[in-house]
Copies of this chain bind each other. A is one copy, B any other.
């Protein structure tokens, strides 16, 4: 049977449970421009994206570090899929914990981007 077994490639990454996510941690994770940018792209695309999708102005080591900060603070979920690691926003968890916060943050970031970065 074509069981939809998630092929749990034995490479599991530690994620905080929903109740363990702390607001301070989320804010800290998003207070870095690079990480905020990652989250914005993730939210814009709406689907899971591989790390290499992002073209960040830092080395891969640093990229790994930033993705880990986002994961450890409960902002994103990371799952291996073959050689790629897919990243998805934990929108459901965040919305349950902090209703409306994520949307406000994304709107604020978009607002600011429209004011400064983009012409």
Within 8 A of B (CB), among A5-61: 19, 22-25, 27-28, 30-33, 36
Closest chain B residue, CB of each to CB of A35: B24
State whether B33 touches A24 (Cβ < 8 A).
Answer: yes
State whether B98 touches A23 (Cβ < 8 A).
Answer: no
> What per-residue 1/0 map shows which CB atoms of A86-115 lie under 8 Å from chain B?
000000000001111101110111011001
Min C-beta distance of A73 to chain B, whole Å: 10
How many identical subunits does the complex contain? 2
Q: Which residues of B contact A24 (CB under 8 A)?
A: 30-33, 36
- Chain A count of residues within 8 A CB distance of the other chain: 26
Q: Which residues of B contact A104 (CB under 8 A)?
A: 98, 100-101, 103-105
Q: Which residues of B contact A30 (CB under 8 A)?
A: 24, 27
A98 vs B107: C-alpha distance when bound (angstroms): 8
State whether B97 touches A108 (Cβ < 8 A).
Answer: yes
State whether A108 touches B101 (Cβ < 8 A).
Answer: yes
A: residues with CB less than 8 A from B are 19, 22-25, 27-28, 30-33, 36, 97-101, 103-105, 107-109, 111-112, 115
